[in-house]
Structure 1
Amino acid sequence: MAADSDLIKLYSQRILALAADIPHRGALKAPQARVKKRAPLCGSTVTVELCLTDDKVSAFAQDVKACALGQAAAALLGQHVIGRTRLEVEAARDALKAMLKFDGPPPGAPWEGYEVLEPAKEYRNRHASIMLALDATAEAMAEAEHAACA
């Protein structure tokens, strides 16, 4: 019974609602950068495309093929990513990783909502999928700093 209740907590209604409503799905016509990340253990993938203006995300698209937890993490990213700098994205990524691996607090403002993923701390095999969207976005931002958006 405890295992069933843990899974129910892990796949809460909030997680499922986020997974069903991922912002910025699709592709950009002329992205400055495109990065695809894959979680080797489960096969989840996230592809991110973006453009920067004044070092901030001005256009963003994502293609998410992941478990509900990876989808929820991508949805949260999509809610907050426009207008963010690479340092802000990297700070959110690092905070999320610390939350999952070291029981740290969830990412703070302006990245509200990641606390919904706290029950996943116990499921290390899910961590890579949860990290995909932020990892891909940080890498794409680094690439975009060296390109021009058409």
Structure 2
Amino acid sequence: MPETDLIKLYSARILALAANIGHTERLENPDASAKKRAPLCGSTVTVDLKVQDSVISEYGQDVKACALGQAAASILAENIIGASISDIKLTRDALLDMLKNGGPAPTGRFSEFEVLLPARDYKNRHASIMLSLEATLEALEKIEAQNCA
């Protein structure tokens, strides 16, 4: 990867997000937890959730990822309290479309994912970027299953 591409990919904003991830304490009594791993790079994200009135009320995470995965986890953590499962699904789908198909960046509370636009050309980074959203959705699905049982 040429140096100019690295500079574009690892912008100051991405590095600042990666250095300041929020909600890094695991929750003591979560409603559900989930762990996701990107097989290509070995990045992992574990999330804990509490949900009240169908929205995320508490969030904790353990992030062991590259700078792009950390930046994505930071954006999610910064905006997740008060989000619904629908918000998370729409954001996951929009981010995946942005990375894989050249679609627009997510909008609304998660519009800051736009900072990861330069990563669309680096397919080997996509899985790490998606980890925090995928783990969050898995945990939300566990909560839904518990509520339907």
> Is TM-score (shorter-chain normalized) higher than 0.5?
yes
Distance 1:135 1:126 in 2: 15
The equivalent of 2:124 in structure 1 is 125
Report the identity percentage: 55
Equivalent residue pairs, number: 147
| Greater RCO, CA 8 A, separation 6+ | 1
Structure 1 counterpart SS, 2:110: coil
TM-score by length of 2: 0.95
Which 4+ runs in 1 deviate beyond 6 A?
A: none
Deviations 1:33-65 (A, max 9, x none): 010000000000000000100110001001000
Distance 1:108 1:79 in 2: 15
> 1:110: how far off?
1.4
Question: Residues 64-103 of structure 1: matches in 2 within 5 Å?
Answer: 64-103=63-102
- Contact 1:57–1:81 (Cα < 8 Å) also in 2: yes
Distance 1:118 1:89 in 2: 19
Structure number with higher helix proportion: 2
Distance 1:147 1:47 in 2: 19
The equivalent of 1:105 in structure 2 is 104
Which consecutive residues of structure 1, in runs of 5 or more, have no partner in the other structure?
A: none
Aligned-residue Cα RMSD (Å) equals 1.2
TM-score by length of 1: 0.95
Which consecutive residues of structure 2, in runs of 5 or more, have no partner in the other structure?
A: none
- Contact 1:55–1:145 (Cα < 8 Å) also in 2: no
Question: Residues 32-43 of structure 1: matches in 2 within 5 Å?
Answer: 32-43=31-42
